[in-house]
Amino acid sequence: MQQTLRDRRIGLVLIGFSPPERLEPIARHLGWHGLVLGDPDLALYRRLGIGRARWWRIYSPGTLRQYARHPRRITRPAVAEDIRQLGGDAITRNATVVALWRPRTPNDRTTAADLLKRATAEAGGLRNSLGAAGPELGG
């Protein structure tokens, strides 16, 4: 997504629910050049109402069939984080959320193209007015 972002009015921040020392290698692997923040206590996730997936959304019948068909080839990785955490996407202006996407399932995420389109539209509306359009995130 960073490679397609050409509008200098828009900054990207990656916020993960892992501790920062776990996020840094992931960001480096993905070629992320922006700010990386950790939210291991899920304070921001709770504040934005971003939930967790139900067990049957993670281990759907199709997933369980794959495990049954290939028990030797598929190993369940050791997980240090909450695999049910869905994540989300937000656009903020002046520390105020102006657009928020809360996925209902792990596959229900907005596309990078749609996110950038909306962020560009929001940046175009900046002018000198930074009016609030969503819930405040401040302390």
Distance from the Cα of residue 34 to its chain's centroid: 14
- pLDDT for res 97: 87
- pLDDT for res 80: 62
Confidence (pTM): 0.61
Q: Which residues of the chain have pLDDT under 70?
A: 1-8, 72-81, 125-139
In angstroms, the CA 134 to CA 131 distance is 10
